[in-house]
Structure formats: C-alpha cells, structure tokens
Amino acid sequence: MQLLHTIRTKFAPVLSQWLPDQNSLQASLDRIVASRDASLADYQANVAMPLQKIVGKPPLEIAQAIVQGLQMGDLCSEVSIAGAGYVNLRLSNSFLANACEAAYQSDKVGLQGAQEPKTFVIDYSSPNVAKPMHVGHIRSTVIGDSISKILRFLGHHVITDNHLGDWGTQFGMIIYGYKHFRDDAAFQKAPVAELGRLYRVVQRIIGYQSLVANLETLERNTKLAAEKLQSLTEKQSAAPNDKKLQKELKSAANAAKETAAELESAKLSIANAQSDSSFIERCRAHPQLESRVLKETSKLHHGDKENLGLWEAFLPHCKEEIHGIYERLNVQFDHELGESFYHDMLPAVIEELMLKELATHSEGAICVFLDGFDAPMIVQKQDGAFLYSTTDLATALFREREFEPDACLYVVDHRQSEHFQKLFAVLAKLGLTHTTFKHVSFGTVMGQDGKPFKTRSGENIGLESMLDEAIARAWEVVCNPNRIKSFGMELTEEEKRDIANKVGIGAIKYADLSHNRTSDYVFDMDKMVQLEGNTAAYIQYSYARTRSILRRASGEEFQITDWPAASIQIAQPAERALAMQILRFEDTLMQSTHDYLPSVVTDYLYELAKLFSSFFDQCPVLKAETPELIRSRLKLTELTGRVLKQGLELLGIETVERM
C-alpha cells in the first residue's frame, strides 16, 4: 500500500484552507514523512513551521488548528504536537492489522502500483564483447537489472537493452592478433580464451609502444615542471608572503611530483618489458601497431570480406562467453542490440545533423558545438570513421522510433557524464524533447588502497574468478559442517551447492547495490561474504527462518495449517514495528525509483530483517499464549517472508528455503 499517500490525503483538506494553490499544497504535504526516531512518532508533519509566514500565527497555534481539523478516523491512535510545532502521528494497531491483512490477501504483498504507467528504455551492462568482463562491469549490470525490476514491479512498461560493444577497435585488435599471433590448436579448443589472449598480446605491444613514443615528451615535461618549481622557489624566497605565489608554488610542486612519478613508472614498465627479449622482438616486428589495428578496424567497417568473415566467426563465441556470465548472474535482457546493429544508420545521422545545421566541419572532423562546453562533440573523425557518440545518437533515435519511451535511462559509469550531457543536448536540438533522458551514473569500485580496483600487476580483475571466489567463500561459511550439525540440519550436496551459489552471488550483488549509487566504494570480499551486518546473507537467513517456522507449524509436532484463515493481531511493540515496516514496502520502492537508488531498497530490507529478528526474539510464534496468537504470528511471519523474498528478487538476489 501507499502508506504515505494515505496519510497525506488526510491532511489535504485541512491544509488547503491556507494553501489553495495545488503546487504549494503538494509541497506542504510532502513535508509529512516517516519519523526518523520511532520513539517520537511513526509519522511526523513538518508543516506548521513553514506556514507561519503565510498564516501569520505562531507554529504551535497552527499545529493546534491542524490537529483540530484532522479527521484521521481509524488510521491513528494518537495525534500530538511536539517541539517547535511538529504534528506527530501514531498509527493505530487496528489499522496496521487490517492493512497487513489486506497485504496478505494480495498477490503482490499489497502493492497498488503506478497510477500512470510509463515506458522506460534502460540501457545497462553494455560490455565490449571481445574483452574479458571485469569487476567494472558488475555495477552497471547489477544496478540496471535492479532498477528495471523495481520499475516493472511497480507496473511500468520496461524495455531493457544491452548495448554491446561488438563493433569497435577491440575487434581490430583481435583480428590483427588472429592474423599474426594465433595458436590454431588453442583456438580450436577454447576460442574465447585464445581471443582473450590475443587481445592482451596486442594490447601489451600497443601499451609498450605508446610508452616508448611518449617517453621523450614525458622527460621534457618532467624537466620543465622541475624548472618551474625551481624558479618559483627562488621567487618565493624573495617574497615569502605573496599568497598567490604560495599557491602557484604548491601546484607546481604537485605537478613536478606527478610528472616525475609518471616518468619513473614509465621507465620501470619499459625496463620490465625490455627484459623479455621475445616480446621486444615482437614489438620490432610490428611497429606502429596501434595504427595497424585501426586499419583492420577500418577495413571491417568498410565491409572487407576477410575481416567481416573473422568478425562473424568471433562474435558468436564472444557472445556465448558473456551469456554464460549473465546466466550465472541471473540477468536477462529484452534486447541485445549492439553497436554493429546501428552501423548502417550512422551516415544518416551525420546527414541529419548537417542538414539541420547542428554539425560543422572543424579541423578535418565533423563536430557539434554546444553552449557551455569547451570541446565539441565529435561525430566523425578526420579519417571518416564514426565514434561512439555517433552510435549513441543513432541508438537514441532508433529507440525513439521503435519504443516511443517516456524515459531513457543509461546506467553508465560517472566518468562519462560529460559525454551524456552533450549527447542529451544534441538530442534535444534534434527535437527529442518529450522523452526524458537520464544518465544514471555510478561511482568507481576501489581497491583496499583507495585506487580503482585492479590486480597487483595493474590488470583488471576478471568477473568469472571473482564470482567463483565469492561462491567458494559462501560455501565455507554456510556449509560449515559444525554449523549445520549444531541445529541438526542435513543438506544434500546439491542443496549445499545451490545455497553457496545463491549466497555468494547475492553477496556480490548486495554489496554493490547497498552502497549509494553515485559514490565510489571499496571492494572488500571478506566483508561482503561475511554474512553478518548489512549483507545479503543476513536477509536471506532471515527469510530462511520465516520458512523454518512455517515448516514446523505444519509439521508433525504442531500440525497447524489453518493460519491463513485467522486474523492478524498487533499488540506487542515488536509486532507493530514489523507490521509498519511491511506496510512501507511500496513507499520504499517509489522513493527508490525517484532517483533510481537501489540502496533505498537494501536499507529497507536490512531494517525489515532486523525487525524480524527482534520479533523472533521477543515474540514466540509456535509457543505463543493462545491459538489465535499463534495463528496471527504465523501469518505475520509468512507475510514478512513474502516481502523479504519479493524485495530480494527486485535486487536480483535469490532466496533459499533453508540455510
């Protein structure tokens, strides 16, 4: 149910006497919120204080007038005024009980759903298929999947699209690699692994060559920075109190330090590479590899038979690989329209931009210049090739025609925010003004050292091995024989595998979703698999406990099966706290979709699981005083389980009946 809306509706007639205008009335109603401190109130209306200017009376007097005018009916057991003029509400136990009853009878745990369903296109995951997927891809995939599920559950029309990078430079790299470095036997045996190896071989050579090529510039810059620092230091000693100079000195010192460190690390990498003689030989044999790779890419894009043939041969293998990962993550898409799908539409995009005089030639490229940005959006390179900005424009135009969405969400990392600002500005100029485009950005996954999460040698961490490790650790903890024996549970091997799998994958997903989407977070496998505190396992465990009680109830010892027909009673503090949290489910989902924050849902579920634990501790279910109470609590337990399961499902996390 939409609890907040129900409460706010009661306030509307009273507040409208001072706020005849709909907008200001709504703004005032929005100040009625769940109380942060449950000991003060369940809900609080912070409406009287801002009204003092409009009404011309002290807040306390206004609050009194509000309370006198309110017709809360059965909803509240207590309405009071506190502090500077807060109107505090205490929901009545009978209301909570009835509302839980209704939620229990409903097939969607009481969900009313969106009044005006909208159409969303959600673009997420979108990896480059020829490269191995790494930890950086997990956020987009997991966040996008969760947002899609929540919106869909609320009744919106959601179209998910995995915009695969299946047409870019990385294919030039593996095509070049395949032509020159392939191991046929290895390719026969495991094509994806071999392609991955070829990608890394080519990447390493390009990396080395670019380091060598830039070494001179780097040395010069380092020298210049050091000289600048030197001269500023001299000036500083002449004028020690010049603040501007001090600032300059500081930034010069930083710059000198940075360039020196960069030079040092470049030299080190080069020295390391040079100790590998076969590698150096390869580099000599393939000079200027980057431009050779670009040529292969360009040939592919221009329909070269051989390259197109290789691309067609590689792509199914690459797709199979990532589909394997999606299967493990239990993530599905409605569409998988990659970059290659849009290739033929790109010239028309440029044509339209030129025709509408949005794009101009500049320095040999075709660019769209936008107010507020120094650099233009480049849509066609000097060499005639298109860029991802061109593809993104074509994609947006295609989706507009095909799906007619109300909103398009791009779940992409925050470093691309400027790209999306430009993209959206151009789309607006192209007349796509009735669709809301939104970059749902997210922060970087950091290592323990506070730097982007990489292996010690600087490589990205493979997604597959990360999932394997999470599952292995989940196994160790969950299927620990001592623990299982301690409460006499016998699990088959198959059941153990299933549990370890769902707990391990759940741990990774939950760790990602529970952090605020926009902030960076430190990746800590120990912690996320630790199964204590704010983790998926704690919630999954709570769910398993609800199932355990229900299993026992209908088992031989108690033989109770008639609780669905009984009525829910709310009396104990732990019962009412649990009931109220259950009823806040829909409000939580709506709040979560307001700015696409799955962490709102994780917080909610964690709180619900904690409240259930308290309830479990303080309110015996099967050993309650009366048969009626036993049945009431069984019903509440079942309802809690349903919400926990549904909530986890919206996060893409599965549950188990026993763990």
User: 121 or 537: whose CB is closer to RNA?
Assistant: 537
For tokens 């990962």, the residue is: 325
Taking the C-alpha atoms of 419, 420, 426 and 429 in order, what is their torsion angle to the nearest 10 degrees? Answer: -150
How many residues touch RNA under the rule CB under 7 A: the total is: 111
Strand extents, DSSP E, 357-406? 359-362, 365-368, 377-380
Q: Which stretch binds RNA (CB under 7 A): 308-316, 328-336, 429-437, 534-542?
A: 534-542
Instruction: Examine residue 549 and tell whether it contacts RNA (CB under 7 A).
Output: yes
Can you tell me which of 9, 106, 254, 465 binds RNA, judged by CB under 7 A? 254
What residues form DSSP beta bridges with 157?
119
Phi, psi of 435 (to 5 degrees): -100, 135
Distance CA 111, CA 582 (A): 11
Can you tell me which of 503, 570, 605, 650 binds RNA, judged by CB under 7 A? 503
- With beta carbons less than 8 A apart as the criterion, state whether 395 and 163 touch: yes
- With beta carbons less than 8 A apart as the criterion, state whether 86 and 46 touch: yes
User: 290 or 464: whose CB is closer to RNA?
Assistant: 290
Site string for RNA, 601-640 (x = CB under 7 A): --x--x---x--xx-xxxxxxxx-----------------
Instruction: Examine residue 522 and tell whether it contacts RNA (CB under 7 A).
Output: yes
Instruction: Examine residue 472 and tell whether it contacts RNA (CB under 7 A).
Output: no
Distance CA 220, CA 263 (A): 10
User: 84 or 268: whose CB is closer to RNA?
Assistant: 84
Instruction: Examine residue 489 and tell whether it contacts RNA (CB under 7 A).
Output: yes
At residue 19, the 3 state secondary structure works out as coil
The CB-of-225 to RNA minimum distance in angstroms stands at: 12
Q: Which stretch binds RNA (CB under 7 A): 186-194, 217-225, 443-451, 579-587?
A: 443-451
Instruction: Examine residue 31 and tell whether it contacts RNA (CB under 7 A).
Output: yes
Q: Of 586-605, which residues contact RNA (CB under 7 A)?
A: 594-595, 597, 599-600, 603
Task: Tell me how long the chain is.
Answer: 659
Q: Which stretch binds RNA (CB under 7 A): 141-149, 203-211, 376-384, 397-405?
A: 376-384
Q: What is the 3-state secondary structure (H, E, C) of 162-195?
A: CCCECCCHHHHHHHHHHHHHCCHHHHHHCHHHHH
Please, what is the end-to-end C-alpha distance for the chain in angstroms? Answer: 31
Instruction: Examine residue 323 and tell whether it contacts RNA (CB under 7 A).
Output: no
Can you tell me which of 10, 137, 517, 631 binds RNA, judged by CB under 7 A? 517
Instruction: Examine residue 416 and tell whether it contacts RNA (CB under 7 A).
Output: yes
Instruction: Examine residue 27 and tell whether it contacts RNA (CB under 7 A).
Output: yes
Q: Of 202-241, which residues contact RNA (CB under 7 A)?
A: none
Q: Of 74-93, which residues contact RNA (CB under 7 A)?
A: 82-84, 86, 88
- With beta carbons less than 8 A apart as the criterion, state whether 263 and 222 touch: yes
65-82 in b/e form (b: 16+ CB < 10 A) is: bbbeebebeebbeebebe
Extract the tokens encoding 414.
């925050």
CA 334 from chain centre, in angstroms, equals 18
Can you tell me which of 20, 21, 37, 275 binds RNA, judged by CB under 7 A? 37
Distance CA 594, CA 249 (A): 46
User: 38 or 428: whose CB is closer to RNA?
Assistant: 38
User: 217 or 486: whose CB is closer to RNA?
Assistant: 486
Q: Which stretch binds RNA (CB under 7 A): 17-25, 136-144, 413-421, 455-463?
A: 413-421
Can you tell me which of 532, 571, 573, 628 binds RNA, judged by CB under 7 A? 532
Instruction: Examine residue 339 and tell whether it contacts RNA (CB under 7 A).
Output: yes
| DSSP per-residue codes, 203-246 | HHHHHHHHHHHHHHHHHHHHHHHHHHHHHHHHHHHHSTT-HHHH
Q: Which stretch binds RNA (CB under 7 A): 30-38, 146-154, 181-189, 326-334?
A: 30-38
Sign of CA dihedral 585, 590, 593, 597: negative
Distance CA 28, CA 17 (A): 12
The residue among 597, 469, 600 whose CA lies nearest residue 523 is: 469
Instruction: Examine residue 577 and tell whether it contacts RNA (CB under 7 A).
Output: no
Site string for RNA, 257-296 (x = CB under 7 A): -------------------------------------x--
User: 50 or 155: whose CB is closer to RNA?
Assistant: 50
Instruction: Examine residue 46 and tell whether it contacts RNA (CB under 7 A).
Output: yes
DSSP conformational letter for 414: G
Can you tell me which of 5, 24, 40, 464 binds RNA, judged by CB under 7 A? 40
Can you tell me which of 132, 165, 196, 405 binds RNA, judged by CB under 7 A? 165
Q: Of 340-359, which residues contact RNA (CB under 7 A)?
A: none
The CB-of-91 to RNA minimum distance in angstroms stands at: 14
Instruction: Examine residue 157 and tell whether it contacts RNA (CB under 7 A).
Output: no
Distance CA 253, CA 37 (A): 49
The CB-of-594 to RNA minimum distance in angstroms stands at: 6
Q: Of 170-199, which residues contact RNA (CB under 7 A)?
A: none
Task: Name residues whose C-beta falls within 8 Å of residue 116's C-beta, 6 or more positions apart in sequence.
Answer: none
Taking the C-alpha atoms of 239, 241, 242 and 248 in order, what is their torsion angle to the nearest 10 degrees? Answer: 90
Taking the C-alpha atoms of 90, 95, 99 and 104 in order, what is their torsion angle to the nearest 10 degrees? Answer: 110
Extract the tokens encoding 434.
């009735």
The CB-of-94 to RNA minimum distance in angstroms stands at: 23
User: 187 or 466: whose CB is closer to RNA?
Assistant: 466
Instruction: Examine residue 141 and tell whether it contacts RNA (CB under 7 A).
Output: no
